[in-house]
Amino acid sequence: MHRFIAIIFACLSLLSLGCGNHQQQDDILVPGDTLAISLSEYFDGHGTPNEQMLGHYILARTYAEMGEVSQALDEFQKAEACADTTATDCDRHLLARVHSQALLLQEEKTESTGGLIWIVGGLVFLTLLGVAGFLLKRKKKPQQHDSQENGIQENRIYESDVYLRFRDLSKHPLQSISRDDWNALEMAVDEYLPDFRKKVDPNHNMKDTDYRICMLIRLRFALSEVAAFMDITPQNLYSRRKQLLKSVFNIVGKPDEFDALIQE
C-alpha cells in the first residue's frame, strides 16, 4: 500500500512539471511500464477527462519506447476515448498529439511490416525459381483451393451469431459472459477454424482461460477488449501473452510476436 502511494505521488510530481506547459507535456516519459500503468489506473478512477487522457497518453508513449507497438496503439485509442470534446476545458493540444503520434506509430508499423514482407517475399520467390515447372503447376490449383476455402471459412465465423454476440458484449462491458457464451465461441472456432486447436492446444490440456485468450486474439479483438472479457488488467494480459509465446511456440520474445503467430 505504501509503495502504491509512493508511486502515485511520484506520478503527480511528474505531472506537475508537465501539465501546465504543452512543450513539457509532449516530452513526458515514465521509466518502465509499472509506474505508467499505476498512473493511468489512478487517473481512470480519480482524474478528470483531461487527466485520464494524459495518463493513457503517457502509458502509450512508454509502450512505444519499449517497442510494444500493439499495446501503444491500444493506449492511444483509450486516450482518444477519454477526451471530452464537448467541455470548454478539453485539452485539444494533447488530443491533437494523441492523434498525430498514433498515426505516426501506425505508419511506422505498416512500413516495418511491409519491409519484412518484401524481404520474405523475395526469398520465397528465389526459392520458387528452383522448383520444377511441372511440380509448381501440379501444386498450384490445390493451394489456391485451400487458400480460398480457408478465407471462406474465416469469413463465416465473423458472420456467426456467437462472434456478433461477443462484438456486442465488447460494447457493453457491464454485461457478463456466461459459460454458454464461451462454449458457443469454442464450438464456432472448432467448426470454422478446425486447424486452430491443433496449432495451439493439440493435446487439449491448456487452461480454459489461456485458450480463451488465444481464441479472442485469433479473432482480432482489441487487447483492451480481451482484457475486459477475461476480467484481468492489461499488465496481466501482457504477462500471459509472453508466457503463452513460450509455452505454445517455445519462443522467448515479445507479446506482439505471440499475437502475430496466433493470427497467421
**What letter does residue 77 receive in the DSSP assignment?**
H
DSSP states along 117-161: HHHHHHHHHHHHHTS-HHHHHHHHHHHHHHHHHHHHHHHHHHTSH
What does the pLDDT read at residue 116? 59
Domain identity same for 162 and 86 = no
Q: Considering the domain boundaries, does residue 228 fall inside one? A: yes
Q: Look at residue 147 in the predicted model and tell me its pLDDT.
A: 55
Q: Do 140 and 204 sit in the same domain of this protein?
A: yes
DSSP 206: S
Q: The CATH number of the domain where 62 resides is what?
A: 1.25.40
Q: Is 262 in a helix, a strand, or coil?
A: helix
What count of Cα atoms within 13 Å lies in the side-chain half-sphere of residue 176? Answer: 3
Residues 61, 155 share a domain: no
- Contact criterion met (CB below 8 Å) for 242 and 217: no
Asked if 62 and 161 sit in the same domain, the reply is no
pLDDT at position 31 is: 61
* C-alpha cell belonging to residue 192: 470454422
My answer on whether 136 and 258 are in the same domain is yes
| Domain assignment present for 121 | no
What lies within 8 Å, CB to CB, of 66 at 6+ separation is 33
pLDDT of residue 173: 80
- Tell me, yes or no, whether 36 lies in a domain: yes
222-229 LR contacts (CB < 8 Å, sep 24+): 222/74, 222/77, 222/170, 223/70, 223/71, 223/74, 224/74, 224/77, 224/78, 225/170, 228/170, 228/173, 229/166, 229/169, 229/170, 229/177
Domain membership of residue 122 (yes or no) is no
Q: Closest by alpha carbon to 74, among 51, 108, 92, 98? A: 98
Residues near 237 by Cβ (< 8 Å), separated by ≥ 6? 213, 223, 226, 227, 230
Q: Which amino acid is at 42?
A: Y
Residue 165, domain extent: 132-262
Q: pLDDT per position in the chain (264 positions), as tens?
A: 444 544 554 455 555 544 445 545 555 666 667 888 888 899 999 999 999 999 899 998 998 888 889 999 999 999 999 988 898 999 999 889 888 888 888 888 877 766 556 666 666 666 676 675 556 555 555 555 455 665 677 889 999 999 999 999 999 888 889 999 999 999 999 999 999 999 999 999 999 999 999 999 999 999 999 999 999 999 999 999 999 999 999 999 999 999 999 998
Asked whether residue 244 is assigned to any structural domain, the reply reads yes
Task: Please state, in angstroms and rounded to a whole number, the distance separating the CA atoms of residues 239 and 232.
Answer: 11
60 and 174 share a domain? no
118 falls within a domain: no
Which pLDDT tens digit goes with each residue over 198-224?
A: 999 999 999 999 999 999 999 999 999
The verdict on residue 14 lying in a domain is: yes
Q: Is residue 126 part of a domain?
A: no
Q: How many domains does the chain have?
A: 2
In this structure, what C-alpha cell is assigned to residue 214? 488465444
> Are 91 and 190 in a shared domain?
no
Residues 90 and 136 in one domain: no
C-alpha R_g of the chain: 22
The answer to whether 65 touches 95, Cβ cutoff 8 Å, is no
- Could you tell me if 258 and 245 are in contact, meaning their C-beta atoms sit under 8 angstroms apart? yes
